[in-house]
Amino acid sequence: MKFTSLFVAFAAFSAAAISSQAADKKLNVLFIAVDDMNNDLGCYGHPLVKSPNIDRLAKEGVKFERAYCQFPLCSPSRTSILTGLRPDTNRTFDLSYHFRQGLPNAITLPQLFKNNGYYTARVGKLYHYGNPGQIGTSGLDDPASWGEFYNPAGRDKTALEQDVIRYSGKPGSGLGSAMAFLNDKEGTDSEHTDGKVAAQAIELLEKHKDGPFFLAVGFYRPHCPWITPKGYFEKYSMNDIQLPPLTPDQQKTVPALALASTPKWPYLGVTPDQARECKLAYYAAISFVDAQVGRVLDALDRLGLKDNTMIVFWSDHGYHLGEHGLWFKQSCYEESTRVPMIISAPGIKGAGKDCPRTVELVDVYPTIADFTGLAAPKTLEGVSLRPLLENTSAEWKRPAYSQVQRGAIPGHSVRNERWRYTEWGFGEKGAELYDHQNDPNELKNIVADPVYAATVSEMKGLLKGMHPVPVEGGKVDHEFNKSLGITAEVYGAH
């Protein structure tokens, strides 16, 4: 055999060996959660917000343009994605009920990996945590989900929480840290909680690089209070920050419950200029979290793990910054129910593309199980997004469902690529229909216009697919929570 052919044969053998080695290696999962982050990101087309690291991830994975949470509030949304079950099934409608009370044998997404021999860990906020009150504790965690957990706390919590500028956090206002922010010009990234979350995640990646691992990294910002280390407020100018116009006439055309998520309307009772400052602070907090996400992604690259790791980036819900006069979450509108969601996995054909199909956070569990080859529980209520990760414009008939509670009255909302339809109290307390083709800001409720009667009927049919039946949220049993090692009586105001 000549040297060249020997070399070719050797090269072929090496390639086969490497490929077989890669095939033998189980796929790792890096699961990155952010709290209260809406779609105001560079990669989602926002003209001001600087998010270069999340934008970079979007170029390597599939960016879902129409991804929706199941319930725009921390604990219900997080319980839904982590159990793979809708709120009506897991009965988590508030911030204190623990889903194990009603579903003691549920196998959560991380637990599936733990049960299958993966190193499984949580760093920071994955299940509900009162934020910022419970930073440094385990919050309303599910201990059965993790092999290990870490609860970092930085100077935003330990030194500065009492110093934040509070527009509405006066004693008795009931709004706590809702409109509070601070540009911590003395603090560095690594001293703040989310900097510590990133550092801990990087340490675990280094330690467990031989895998397989399911590493859940939960950042606390941009949830209020918007305390960020030096350099992030400076990325924005108040001259650029505007509020969407208030449209008082529009309020008359929607059910009162549609706007009840902002009890002091508009903007939780602050002035428009104060609301603009809060908006700038929120954007600063997004840029801060983005930088921490970047540190974790850099570590994954540096350790050579990218070719064998699936990355899922998601927020628990969106966030209003003045649209309809609303602030916060807990509405059925687009800004509250829509979430940024990016999924990357080795070899997917959709890498770098945008997917316009309506998908749900509840789809994440079956998707990750599908890619890692683990047998998921048959009871999951979402479906694998693999067809869309391979072909982002594949046919897709599933709409996205979201729900909220107004006391005992539910709001149920269904979204397909063109329309959003919402019913309050099963329609008895009003309904809404918006045409996203002509009204992307959901300013014109056309539910009563006879021209759209057929569309209303069609959307009612889709909503039935959610099986919206009267289901009470689970009754909180604090003794049960204590039995899980959860000792805090107060689980957070929002």
323 contributes a contact to Ca ion by CB under 5 A? no
Instruction: Return the HEC string of 207-259.
Output: HCCCCCEEEEEECCCCCCCEEEECCCHHHCCHHHCCCCCCCHHHHCCCCHHHH
How far apart are CB 74 and Ca ion at their closest, in Å?
A: 4
Query: 278 an active-site residue?
Result: no
Residue closer to Ca ion (CB basis): 36 or 142: 36
Q: Residue with CB nearest Ca ion?
A: 74
Amino acid identity of residue 467, one-letter, is H
Distance from C-alpha of 11 to C-alpha of 323, rounded to nearest angstrom? 60
Peptide bond into 212 cis (omega under 30): yes
Query: Residues 54, 343: contact at Cβ < 8 Å?
Result: no
- Nearer to Ca ion among residue 145 and residue 315 (C-beta): 315
Within 57-76, which residues bind Ca ion (CB under 5 A)?
A: 74
Nearest approach in angstroms of CB 340 to Ca ion is 13
**Does the protein bind Ca ion through residue 335 (CB under 5 A)?**
no
Site string for Ca ion, 431-460 (x = CB under 5 A): ------------------------------
Scanning 35-43, 149-157, 383-391, 454-462 for contacts with Ca ion by CB under 5 A, the matching segment is: 35-43
Q: Which is nearer to Ca ion, 36 or 423 (CB)?
A: 36
Q: Is 82 in the site for Ca ion (CB under 5 A)?
A: no
Closest approach of Ca ion to the CB of residue 283, in Å: 17
Pick the binder of Ca ion from 30, 31, 34, 35 (CB under 5 A): 35
Indicate whether 381 belongs to the interface with Ca ion (CB under 5 A).
Answer: no
Q: Please tell me the number of Cα atoms within 13 Å of 297 on its side-chain side.
A: 21
Choose the catalytic residue: 69, 98, 128, 317. Answer: 128
Give which of 352, 335, 330 is closest to 343, Cα–Cα: 352
Closer residue to Ca ion in complex, CB, 316/323: 316
- The least CB distance from residue 435 to Ca ion, in Å, is 29
Do residues 69 and 415 make contact, with C-beta atoms less than 8 angstroms apart?
A: no
Work out which of 40, 290, 316, 360 binds Ca ion, going by CB under 5 A.
316
Q: How many CA atoms lie within 13 A of 478 on its CB side?
A: 5
CA dist., res. 69 & res. 361, Å (int)? 5
Catalytic residue among 43, 69, 74, 355: 74
Q: Is 470 exposed, middle or buried (0-12, 13-18, 19+ CB in 10 A)?
A: exposed
Class of residue 390 by CB neighbours under 10 A (exposed 0-12, middle 13-18, buried 19+): middle
Residue 5: Cβ within 10 Å count: 9
Q: How far is the CB of 39 from Ca ion (least distance, A)?
A: 14
Query: Cα–Cα distance between 68 and 363 in angstroms, integer?
Result: 10
Candidate residues 27, 29, 31, 36; the one interacting with Ca ion per rule CB under 5 A: 36
Q: Is 324 an active-site residue?
A: no
> How many residues belong to the site for Ca ion (CB under 5 A)?
4
Q: Which residues here bind Ca ion, judged by CB under 5 A?
A: 35-36, 74, 316
Residues with a catalytic annotation lie at 74, 128
